[in-house]
């Protein structure tokens, strides 16, 4: 029982010591944070804490002793004197321990008070230093403000003097400024006029360029259309030439046996073996009979000519085939020739086409094959050439329209076959441009 009581007492003493230590530590922390006016209150709280601790220790010790004494006399230590002596010894030892612990707590409290006093002294010194520093800073601020006021006053005085001096010179300076302003306004007006003139010129130039571009574009489109039409016409003509060549080939194949049979018969009725003698004239027995009838007829070839005298050779007749080959292009081609036994008969061509003077059928043709004869003179003076220049404009090869074109500058009229010349003339026309093409 006594051991349990002592154990409880020791635990309570330890708890009280721990509480006191924690409170002292909290007081120290609070004291380090408190300012100078709160440190006196902190010291008083520490003193109150010490008195409370002492009172608690005394109360606890007396209560425990009373409980122990009453309990021992009633329950445990009533019959045994030795146990009473031992209990008294333990109680006395516990009292000594309590007194020693209280003494230690008092000593610790005194140490804390000395620490608090030292801290208070340091705080007082810091407050003094802080107050001195504030006084020094205030003096510096006062001196700085005084210097600034002096500088401001000096600057104000200088500005006032300069303003007074400027007021004395103001009329002359004002007149000079007005003159400069007038000059600058004149320069500005002239610059505005120049800018307006340049803008007007630029607008006119742009309009002129637009008109030229439109005219060139129209010319280019017209030329392109003409070229496209020319290509189309060329393709159609080439197709036509191919068709005609095919037809010519077919006709040649058809008339080949007929030509062979015609070549074996003379028109005067002479047999084939007598043809060379018949061509000399006097040897032909049928010359006088057929002379009158052959004057108005045209024979198929030079081999079938009647037996005529040599002085009647001013114009000879030749019979050719009805189909002739037409060239694929309209460029000039070399002249074609028909060779016979007596000589060479030349047929002239103009722009790829033959110059034909007459078409006649022989009256006494003994064959059923249809053929055409061409009367071809041997001399170039006897040829009556036809004008083929108008066919180009009529067929639409050189130009796309049959209307006349009038130059808007010099009013020159261009026929349909000279539309391309009009384009070159329009670029180099010396008159003033009117830029509007008129087509009639």
What integer is the mean pLDDT of 253-268? 68
387 shares its domain with 434: no
pLDDT score at 379: 42
| Residue where the block lists tokens 């020159």 | 412
355 shares its domain with 417: no
9 shares its domain with 135: yes
pLDDT score at 166: 61
CB 400 within 8 A of CB 417: no
Rounded CA gap, 143 and 148, in Å? 9
pLDDT score at 39: 56
CB 404 within 8 A of CB 436: no
- Residue 239 confidence class, pLDDT cut points 50, 70, 90: very high
pLDDT score at 20: 55
293 shares its domain with 406: no
13 shares its domain with 107: yes
Rounded CA gap, 208 and 384, in Å? 53
Whether 226 maps to a domain, the answer reads no
pLDDT score at 202: 92
Last residue of a domain, one of 116, 150, 184: 150
Question: Residue 413 forms beta bridges with which residues?
Answer: 406
What integer is the mean pLDDT of 413-438? 70
pLDDT score at 49: 65
Q: What letter would DSSP give residue 318?
A: B
Number of domains composing the chain: 3
* List of long-range contacts for 322-326, beta carbons under 8 Å, 24+ apart: 322/251, 322/370, 322/371, 322/372, 323/247, 323/248, 323/251, 323/252, 324/248, 324/354, 325/244, 325/245, 325/248, 326/241, 326/244, 326/352, 326/353
Whether 144 maps to a domain, the answer reads yes
Question: How far does CA 64 lie from the centroid of its chain?
Answer: 103
* Residue 423, burial from CB neighbour count under 10 angstroms (0-12, 13-18, 19+): middle
CB 245 within 8 A of CB 325: yes
Token pair recorded at residue 369 = 């094959």
Last residue of a domain, one of 150, 170, 196: 150
For the chain, the average pLDDT equals 65
pLDDT score at 235: 94
Whether 326 maps to a domain, the answer reads yes
* Residue 101 vs residue 290, higher pLDDT: 101
Rounded CA gap, 68 and 351, in Å? 162
Question: Residue 350 forms beta bridges with which residues?
Answer: 353
Whether 340 maps to a domain, the answer reads yes
Whether 74 maps to a domain, the answer reads yes
pLDDT score at 197: 92
Whether 223 maps to a domain, the answer reads no
pLDDT score at 64: 53
* Residue 99 vs residue 368, higher pLDDT: 99
| Burial readout 203-234 (b: 16 or more C-beta within 10 A, e: otherwise) | eeeeeeeeeeeebeeeeeebeeebeeeeeeee
- Residue 83 confidence class, pLDDT cut points 50, 70, 90: low
- Residue 338 confidence class, pLDDT cut points 50, 70, 90: very low
334 shares its domain with 291: yes
Residues 6+ apart with CB under 8 A from 164: none
Q: What kind and span of H or E run contains 354? A: strand 353-354
125 shares its domain with 59: yes
Q: Where is average pLDDT lowest: 86-95, 391-400, 417-426?
A: 391-400
* Residue 51 vs residue 76, higher pLDDT: 51
Give me the half-sphere count of Cα atoms (radius 13 Å) on the Cβ side of residue 131: 6
- Residue 401 confidence class, pLDDT cut points 50, 70, 90: low
345 shares its domain with 367: yes
29-48 pLDDT, tens digit per residue, is 655 555 454 556 556 666 66
Is the pLDDT reported for residue 76 higher than 50? no
15 shares its domain with 134: yes
Token pair recorded at residue 98 = 């309590």
What integer is the mean pLDDT of 205-223? 91
Number of Cβ atoms within 10 Å of the Cβ of 417: 16
337 shares its domain with 437: no
Q: At what angle do helices 81-263 and 39-71 cross, to 10 degrees?
A: 120
For the chain, the farthest-separated pair of C-alpha atoms sits apart, in whole angstroms, at 212
Whether 170 maps to a domain, the answer reads no
Token pair recorded at residue 133 = 């520093």
* Residue 309, burial from CB neighbour count under 10 angstroms (0-12, 13-18, 19+): exposed
383 shares its domain with 440: no
Residues 6+ apart with CB under 8 A from 88: none
Question: How far does CA 271 lie from the centroid of its chain?
Answer: 92
Q: What kind and span of H or E run contains 166? A: helix 81-263
- Residue 22 confidence class, pLDDT cut points 50, 70, 90: low
What integer is the mean pLDDT of 129-152? 87
290 shares its domain with 373: yes
**281 conformational bin, left if phi > 0, alpha if psi -120 to 50, beta if neither:** left
* Residues 195, 196, 197: CA angle, nearest 5 degrees: 90
What is the domain extent for residue 417?
A: 401-440
Whether 173 maps to a domain, the answer reads no
What does the chain come to in residues?
440
Pick the closest to residue 401 from 225, 231, 220, 216 (CA basis).
Answer: 225
* List of long-range contacts for 184-188, beta carbons under 8 Å, 24+ apart: none
Q: Which of 6-10, 308-312, 360-364, 398-402 has the highest mean pLDDT?
A: 6-10
Is the pLDDT reported for residue 251 higher than 80? yes
pLDDT score at 60: 58
Last residue of a domain, one of 393, 411, 429: 393
Rounded CA gap, 229 and 235, in Å? 10
DSSP state string for 12-78:
HHHHHHHHHHHHHHHHHHHHHHS-TTTHHHHHHHHHHHHHHHHHHHHHHHHHHHHHHHHHIIIIISS
Q: Coil, helix or strand for 290?
A: helix
Strand order in the sheet with 438-439: 413-414, 405-406, 438-439
Q: Coil, helix or strand for 439?
A: strand
């Amino acid at each position: 029982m006594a051991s349990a009581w002592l154990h409880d007492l020791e635990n309570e003493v330890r708890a009280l010591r721990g509480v006191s230590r924690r409170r002292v530590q909290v007081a120290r922390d609070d004291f380090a944070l408190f300012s100078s006016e709160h440190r006196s209150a902190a010291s008083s709280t520490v003193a109150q804490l010490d008195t409370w601790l002492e009172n608690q220790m005394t109360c606890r010790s007396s209560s425990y002793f009373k409980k122990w004494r009453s309990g021992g006399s009633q329950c445990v230590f009533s019959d045994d004197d030795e146990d009473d002596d031992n209990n008294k010894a333990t109680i006395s030892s516990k009292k000594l321990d309590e007194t020693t612990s209280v003494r230690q707590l008092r000593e610790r409290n005194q140490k804390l008070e000395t620490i608090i006093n030292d801290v208070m002294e340091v705080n007082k010194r810091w407050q003094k230093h802080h107050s001195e520093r504030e006084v020094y800073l205030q003096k510096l601020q006062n001196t700085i403000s005084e210097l600034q006021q002096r500088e401001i006053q000096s600057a104000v005085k200088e500005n006032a003097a300069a303003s007074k001096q400027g007021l004395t010179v103001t009329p002359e300076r004002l007149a000079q400024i007005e003159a400069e302003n007038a000059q600058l306004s004149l320069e500005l007006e002239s610059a505005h006029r120049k800018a307006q003139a340049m803008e007007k010129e630029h607008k006119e130039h742009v309009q002129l360029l637009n008109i030229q571009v439109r005219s060139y574009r129209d010319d280019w489109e017209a030329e392109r259309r003409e070229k496209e039409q020319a290509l189309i016409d060329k393709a159609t003509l080439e197709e036509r030439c191919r068709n005609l060549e095919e037809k010519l080939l077919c006709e040649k194949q058809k008339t080949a046996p007929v030509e062979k049979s015609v070549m074996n018969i003379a028109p005067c009725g002479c047999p084939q073996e007598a043809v060379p003698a018949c061509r000399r004239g006097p040897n032909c027995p049928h010359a006088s009979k057929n002379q009158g009838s052959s004057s108005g007829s045209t024979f198929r070839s030079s081999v079938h000519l009647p037996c005529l005298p040599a002085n009647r050779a001013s114009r000879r007749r030749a019979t050719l085939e009805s189909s002739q080959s037409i060239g694929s292009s309209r460029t000039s081609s070399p002249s074609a020739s028909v060779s016979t036994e007596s000589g060479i008969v030349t047929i002239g061509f103009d722009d790829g086409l033959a110059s034909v003077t007459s078409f006649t059928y022989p009256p006494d043709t003994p064959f059923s094959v249809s053929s055409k004869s061409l009367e071809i003179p041997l001399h170039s003076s006897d040829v009556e050439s036809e004008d083929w220049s108008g066919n180009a404009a009529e067929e639409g090869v050189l130009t796309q329209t049959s209307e006349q074109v009038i130059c808007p500058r010099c009013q020159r009229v261009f026929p349909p076959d000279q539309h391309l010349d009009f384009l070159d003339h329009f670029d180099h026309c010396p008159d003033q441009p009117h830029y509007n093409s008129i087509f009639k």
